[in-house]
Chain A
Amino acid sequence: MDLTINNSTQAGSFIASDVRDRGVLLSIKDLKIWFELRKFGFGHAGYVHAVDGVSFDVHNGESIAVVGESGCGKSTLMKGILGLHRPTEGKIYFNGESVGDMKTREIKHYRSHIGYIQQDPYGAMAPFMSVQRILTEPLNINEINNHEQIQGLIKKSLEEVKVSPVEDYLNKFPHMLSGGQQQRIVIARAMILNPNFLVADEPVSMLDASVRVEILKLLRNLQESRNLAVIYITHDLSTVSYFSRRIFVMYAGQIVEKALVQDLLHNAGHPYTQALLTGTSDPDGANAFKMKEVPPGEPPNLINPPKGCRFHPRCSKMIQGLCDVEVPPEFEPEPEHKVACWLLR
């Protein structure tokens, strides 16, 4: 019902792409998640605007990266999608159903369609549970209790994440595994209920450089073979191009730029995105001889975010009387590339 209206294939974007023909899986409409601050325990003292007016669509089988610094609201956005925070305003539609209006039982069913990969694999697994028990839990919760069926599913999902031979691992505890293996178990747990949507919150930031690529490739293979929709949350721009079709850049609770990966890397529109790109290093001996241009200051406080464009106090291209007064709308310099910046007006 809502799907047809929410579909982002609007006038103005005419690139026919296979992913976008598959229909919208997740649609977020002007989502706001605010946390109330209390004075002395009960008085109202304002809101933390953690997610403030975010809208986007995710199509079936599409992989999307959300990039931003810590404190920009990307984790809150993800928790909103998982139904862990109720939206203050706005809606999240999954297959046309509003997540915020679901009842507890419906939420449980909804979550069985979503795989969630945590940032810190060791922290994400109970240290007293064996791999067998860790993987059995989601099945039990979703009322799969047949022993043989459980063993079959565990074996299949462990083989899929290339943990083999499976029997050697079932009785191990998380501390007996290396970081890469732990992350594989977490991925296996996320995949065991055969979800069609995966949320990966910085899945490789805690891992060693040599393992990082291995896990990213594993995720990409899963995404391609199972036709999964993926939201990949990260602060590291250098890994997104191997994985995602589109990138959303978040700053201070809002998405400032949405673009296809290659457009963003070569033709970034928003000054903040440009700063992130300059800030990311490639290994090169020449780096040591030049200074980086970094915007001054730090991300704003989300209790009282700056008026107008939230990046304006740090922006070198700020237009006096416009950027600090009016919130920039989304401009579309090229198809599928939206930038919330007055410079593109």
Chain B
Amino acid sequence: MMNTPQLLKIEDLILYFKTMRGPVQAVDKVNLDLKHNEAIVVLGESGCGKSSLAKAILRLLPRNIDRYSGKVILNGVDTMKYSDEEYRRKVRWSSISMVPQAAMNSLNPVLKVGDQVTEPFIIHTGASKAEALEQAKKMFSHVGVPNSFLDRYAFELSGGMRQRSAIAMALVTMPDMIILDEPTSALDVLTQANIFNVLKTLKKELEISFILITHDIATSSELADRVAVMYAGQIVEVCDATRFFQKPYHPYSIALMDSVPRLRQIKEPDFITGQPPTLINPPSGCRFKDRCHKRFDKCEEEPPALAIEDRIIKCWLYK
């Protein structure tokens, strides 16, 4: 993994939403990079800005934007300099595609699955319907859906099959990377395991990179090469997955890992007291300080992102 080229680099990405009570700092100076054929997991509680981060990367923005700045560098080119139309043509779905949250319910109920899966391919490559169907069939075999399902409607498919079709739809233009927003949160255990098997195969065979956004720590370990922990709009720890799951460093990551119920260990899980801060007026200094057991004077100041043993940790404890 060391020498693979860099695919995506995000620098100081900021996305604030306008509200009546002031700006919501959903994504606040996020730095992240992704190598070719790597899977990075963004972990965090709901409302910490995970999905907003995905939208900020893909520039799928609502209208109430207060501030949107930073750099999203894809293959060495800063895509923030593109106009919206250029971005749509050059980046969205041709280089980065997305499987949205609850993807299995985002299929159009009045269109055949085949028509929906082929649509991005036709739009982005100008291919004919027949060519697009060929491509869709290829993608369906990658994700393990029988080709005959192209002729069906979404309601005729089970949840797992719909989720696979949504992944096929993201794959159809052969992008470099896919952003998956909670891909398995509404699925059963065995279906979940199946979908992760599919994602692992895709990563191996098609060399696709993934950003996996989830709050499910246990299943995220099925795909992760690296882990980024997000809290209150900021990334507080980035670390190699193997070492992160063994020993997280940031107090929030530690608490988060302790809250995971485990099947194979008799260890009582613990919960994090308190609630995440509101993102409208987040506390100054470290945003986790009010829930942190290891809080000290220094925490009143904003902690720097420290690089320790290949990890990045935003915490004063490790200074």
Contact = CB atoms under 8 A, between A and B. Distances in A.
A237 B217 contact: no
A256 to B, nearest CB: 14
B261 A210 contact: no
Interface string B252-293: 000111011111111011111001000000000000000000
Nearest to A68: B188
Interface stretch (A58-66, A128-136, A284-292, A337-345): A284-292
Contacts of B222: 281, 287-288, 292
A319 interface: no
Contacts of A90: none
22 contacts: A69-B191, A208-B45, A209-B215, A210-B255, A210-B259, A212-B271, A213-B269, A237-B263, A241-B266, A242-B268, A242-B269, A282-B260, A282-B265, A283-B257, A284-B221, A285-B242, A285-B246, A288-B225, A292-B193, A292-B222, A294-B190, A298-B160
Nearest to B203: A288
Interface in A37-78: 69-70
B14 interface: no
Interface of B: 39, 45-46, 158-160, 188-194, 196-197, 200, 215-225, 240-246, 255-257, 259-266, 268-272, 275
A235 B185 CA distance: 12
B146 to A, nearest CB: 12
A1 to B, nearest CB: 41
Given A210-B255, A294-B197, A178 B271 contact: no
A239 interface: yes
A277 B272 CA distance: 27
Given A288-B224, A298-B158, 8 more contacts: A209-B45, A212-B271, A238-B218, A238-B261, A242-B269, A280-B218, A282-B263, A288-B39
- The size bracket of the interface on A is 35 or more
A124 interface: no
Interface in A230-266: 235-239, 241-242, 265
Nearest to B223: A288
Contacts of A298: 158, 160, 191
A69 B264 CA distance: 20
B271 A217 contact: yes
A235 B188 contact: yes
Given A291-B197, A291-B200, A208 B190 contact: no
B188 A69 contact: yes
A282 B264 contact: yes
B193 A279 contact: yes
A211 B268 CA distance: 14
Closest 5 CB pairs of A and B: A285-B242, A214-B271, A69-B188, A279-B193, A213-B271
Interface in A177-217: 178-180, 208-214, 216-217
A265 B189 contact: no
Contacts of A277: 263
A298 B189 CA distance: 12
B256 A280 contact: no
A283 B260 contact: yes
A276 B266 CA distance: 19
A178 B277 CA distance: 12
Contacts of B190: 69, 275-276, 279, 294-295
B229 to A, nearest CB: 12
Nearest to B196: A292
A237 B190 CA distance: 12
Contacts of B259: 209-210, 212-213
Contacts of A287: 221-222
A11 B270 CA distance: 41
A213 to B, nearest CB: 4
Contact of B217 (A69, A214, A236, A283): A283
Given A69-B188, A281-B222, A285-B246, A292 B197 contact: yes
B275 A209 contact: no
B224 A69 contact: no
Given A69-B190, A288-B223, A211 B271 contact: yes
A205 B224 CA distance: 23
